[in-house]
Structure 1
Amino acid sequence: MTKVGFVGLGIMGGPMAANLVEAGYEVTGYNRSSAKAEKLAAEGGKAAGSIAEAVSAADVIVTMLPDSPDVESAVLGEDGVLANAREGALLIDCSTIRPEVSRAVAEQAERQGVRALDAPVSGGEQGAIDGALSIMVGGDSAAFAAAGEVFDVVGKTVVHVGPAGSGQTVKAANQLIVAGNIALVAEALVFLEKHGVDTESAFQVLGGGLAGSKVLDAKNKGMRERTFKPGFRIELHHKDLGIVQSAARESGVSAPLSGLVAQLMEAAVAQGDGSLDHSGLFKQIAKLNGTE
């Protein structure tokens, strides 16, 4: 399978599509803002002027879109992906959306002879650039096997976690863990600063012990320097925590910490920080302590 149609060329989708081009795939990309499709063309891919143009001849279709309504429109819409995909194509949705939407996509795809996987990713912009994403995949096992070569280009840890919608459920758990970790790293930084500790050396030793984590390693420098260039925006993480809370209510799961972090994320969005990197949650912790 050499022809890939890629829909959604943002912070994550753009590097993923570029990596597929570099790996030898014929990639045709579509994005609502044409400049990003033109960037892909400059990197060796092709720019499409519509979803239909991007996907109609594709063996594999990858979508990377911001939210559930975007997927419903772009994939299930009247002139969307499924309306234009050829029979036998493989659809890989890497968006982070509600599990029930992924199940609806899979059901509609099956009716139209298209194999569908929900395959949300984790690893941020750098992981997308490096082709080292963690990918949690829901859907049919045969479709997962067929997608293996594509996944190998964009991901490092790729795991089939169950039937349609399962990938999104695991991604929701991922986003809960990441958000809670960011909040605790932020609290630790405020705590250390209040006590006049050298924070760079403090995080160096913390990172070598049980408190160490990828979040601590990746986010402490930006927090310390108050630089929050977006790799993954607060507004998107806020959306993801809404998915966590909705899914928790539906299944009767008590998730008190997710509620607290979601409120902090909501406050950040309400105060105009939604476009910052999610490590910008530090600003909310700092404000609570009168240090921001």
Structure 2
Amino acid sequence: MNIGFIGLGIMGSPMAAHLATAGHTVRGYDVHPEAVDKLVAAGGQAATSVADAVEAADAVITMLPNHPQVEAVVFGQGGVLESAKPGTLLADMSTIRPETSLEIAKAAQEKEIRVLDAPVSGGEAGAKQATLSIMVGGEEADFALARPLFEVVGKTIVHVGPHGAGQVVKAANQLVVGGIYALVGEAIVLMEGCGVDAKTGLDVLAGGLAANRILDLKRESMVARQFQPGFRIDLHHKDMGIALAAARQADVSLPMTGLVAQLVAAARAMGHGSLDHSALLKVTEQLSGARE
């Protein structure tokens, strides 16, 4: 397929490269020219604008930081809705507010453009290894059309419901991930505070009922205080805001989500926004009296 790919950051860059390697024609655009150059080196093509990337595309994929960027790319002058041909499939794989996904779907219908909200989980490692989990909202027929593309970049691919449902499931994913990071951080602080080797202790936890993917992937780096970003605190802060807003709109109470959101906000206020979300450990350490 001819694919226009908008957003070639930490996640989008390897995803676009996988699609190019798989034989698709991928024409990519990013506000950072060096990101476009990286795609060209991987076998893709350079676009000079959003319009240039999407006007001849069969499918358009957007992978952007937040809803303002998605709205600008989709609704703006020279954007997807203005430049894409009728029948084009737009898969927004960004993590944004469900209401924005619904607005895009409604506006795109008038342009005869098919839309899916398809946020992902798995972080930079999942993007590089093409093992992302993809939660997709939209029409079943459009999901079937997009599935071969999703299979190039992901491993767990599920149609979770109508437009906006993908973003709701992603919000649920992020509140669970944030909660687990907070608890693993507390476990490390507890063990170290009691004079127990945290690495050994987490090895035991990872083999029992407390086992989870975060322990599998991040326990050693957390004990070593290595917080090179695979997914930044800044972005998780945004995602927790999405989860809280969705809870308010649904009129449900998520008290643990509120607490985790405040811990993430604290990490950001402490200046850790550019670090990996596993740096929630640093918040617990400071609450426990540790000094930088």
Q: What TM-score results when the alignment is normalised by the length of structure 2?
A: 0.98
Alignment of 1:40-59 (within 5 A): 40-59=39-58
Tell me by how many angstroms 1:81 deviates: 1.2
Partner of 2:158: 159
Is 1:245–1:259's contact at 8 Å kept on the other side of the alignment?
Answer: yes
Number of matched residues? 291
2:133 match: secondary structure: strand
Aligned partners of 2:46 and 2:259: how far apart in 1? 42
Counterpart position of 1:22: 21
Alignment of 1:217-228 (within 5 A): 217-228=216-227
Q: How far is 1:78 from its partner? A: 2.1
Take 1:137 and 1:186, find their aligned partners in 2: how far apart are those partners?
A: 31
Is residue 142 of structure 1 aligned with residue 141 of structure 2? yes
Aligned to 1:191: 190
Supply the distance in 2 between the matched residues of 1:183 and 1:225 (Cα, whole angstroms): 16
Could you tell me which residue of structure 1 aligns to residue 238 of structure 2? Answer: 239
Alignment of 1:272-287 (within 5 A): 272-287=271-286
Report the TM-score when normalising by structure 1.
Answer: 0.98
Could you say which residue in structure 2 is the equivalent of 1:209? 208
Residues 34 and 49 in structure 1, CA contact (< 8 A), matched pair in contact too: no
**For each residue in 1:209-258, what CA deviation from the matched residue of structure 2 results, as whole angstroms up to 9, or x when unmatched?**
11010012222122111110000000000000000111101111111111
Larger CA deviation: 176-185 vs 195-204? 195-204
Q: Deviations over 1:105-132 (max 9, x none)?
A: 1111111011100000000101001111
Q: CA deviation at 1:80?
A: 1.0
The separation in 2 between residues aligned to 1:148 and 1:259, in whole angstroms, is: 34
User: Retained in 2: the 8 A contact 1:141–1:160?
Assistant: yes
Instruction: Quote the Cα distance in structure 2 between the aligned partners of 1:281 and 1:80.
Output: 37
Question: What is the deviation of 1:6?
Answer: 0.3
Q: Which has the higher mean CA deviation after the structures are superposed, 134-143 or 260-269?
A: 260-269
Consecutive unaligned residues in structure 1, runs of 5 or more: none
Q: Which residue of 1 aligns with 2:260?
A: 261
In the other structure, the counterpart of 2:107 is 108
Q: Percent identity?
A: 56
Q: Which residue of 2 aligns with 1:121?
A: 120
The amino acid of 2:228's aligned partner reads K
How many Å separate the matches in 1 of 2:252 and 2:215?
27
Tell me how far 1:291 sits from its aligned partner. 2.5
Shift of 1:177: 0.3
Q: Once the 2 structures are TM-superposed, how far is the Cα of residue 72 of structure 1 from its aligned partner?
A: 0.7
Say whether the 8 Å CA contact 1:125–1:231 is kept in structure 2: yes
Give the Å deviation of 1:270.
1.4
**Cα distance between partner residues in 2 of 1:217 and 1:197:** 20
1:212 maps to amino acid: A
Q: Could you give the per-residue CA deviations for residues 188-208 of structure 1, whole angstroms, max 9, x where no partner exists?
A: 000111112122221111101
